[in-house]
Amino acid sequence: MKSFPIRLITLATIILAAALFRLVPHWPNFTPIAALALFGAATFERKWLGLVAPLAAMLLSDALIGFHSSMGAVYISFGLTWLLGVWALKKITVGRIAAVSVVASILFFLITNFAVWSGSTYYPQTMPGLITCYVAGIAFYNGTSFFLNGMAGDLFYSAIMFGGYYLLQLRFGKLKPIRLQPTE
Tell me, yes or no, whether 41 lies in a domain. Answer: yes
pLDDT value, residue 117? 94
Spatial CA neighbour of 21 closest among 146, 159, 153: 153
pLDDT tens digits, residue range 39-88? Answer: 999 998 889 988 998 888 888 888 888 887 788 999 999 999 999 999 99
Q: What is the CATH number of the domain that holds 158?
A: 1.10.1760
pLDDT value, residue 1? 46
Q: Who's near 77: CB < 8 A, 6+ residues apart?
A: 33, 107, 108, 111, 112
Q: Round to whole Å and give the CA distance between 98 and 104.
A: 10
Provide the residue count of the chain: 184
Tell me, yes or no, whether 179 lies in a domain. Answer: no
Segment 13-21 long-range contacts (CB within 8 Å, at least 24 positions apart)? 14/39, 14/161, 14/164, 14/165, 15/39, 15/40, 15/53, 15/54, 15/57, 16/57, 16/60, 18/57, 18/157, 18/160, 18/161, 19/54, 19/57, 19/58, 19/60, 19/61, 20/57, 20/61, 21/157
- pLDDT level of residue 179 (50, 70, 90 thresholds): very low
Tell me, yes or no, whether 181 lies in a domain. Answer: no
pLDDT tens digits, residue range 24-37? Answer: 877 777 888 899 99
Q: From the CA atom positions of the chain, what is the Rg in Å? A: 18
Handedness of CA 155, 161, 162, 166 (dihedral sign): positive
- pLDDT level of residue 180 (50, 70, 90 thresholds): very low
- pLDDT level of residue 181 (50, 70, 90 thresholds): very low
Range of the domain at 8: 3-173
Looking at the chain, the whole-number percentage of residues with pLDDT higher than 90 is: 44
- pLDDT level of residue 174 (50, 70, 90 thresholds): confident
Q: Round to whole Å and give the CA distance between 37 and 59.
A: 13
Tell me, yes or no, whether 136 lies in a domain. Answer: yes
pLDDT at residue 110 greater than cutoff 70: yes
Tell me, yes or no, whether 19 lies in a domain. Answer: yes
Tell me, yes or no, whether 39 lies in a domain. Answer: yes
Tell me, yes or no, whether 93 lies in a domain. Answer: yes
**Residue 119: DSSP 8-state:** T
Spatial CA neighbour of 105 closest among 80, 69, 141: 80
pLDDT value, residue 63? 87
Tell me, yes or no, whether 152 lies in a domain. Answer: yes
pLDDT value, residue 184? 42
Total domains in the fold of the chain = 1
Q: How many CA atoms lie within 13 A of 60 on its CB side?
A: 13
At CA 45, angle to CA 43 and CA 48, rounded to 5?
A: 95
pLDDT value, residue 53? 87
* Neighbour tally for 184: CB within 10 Å: 3
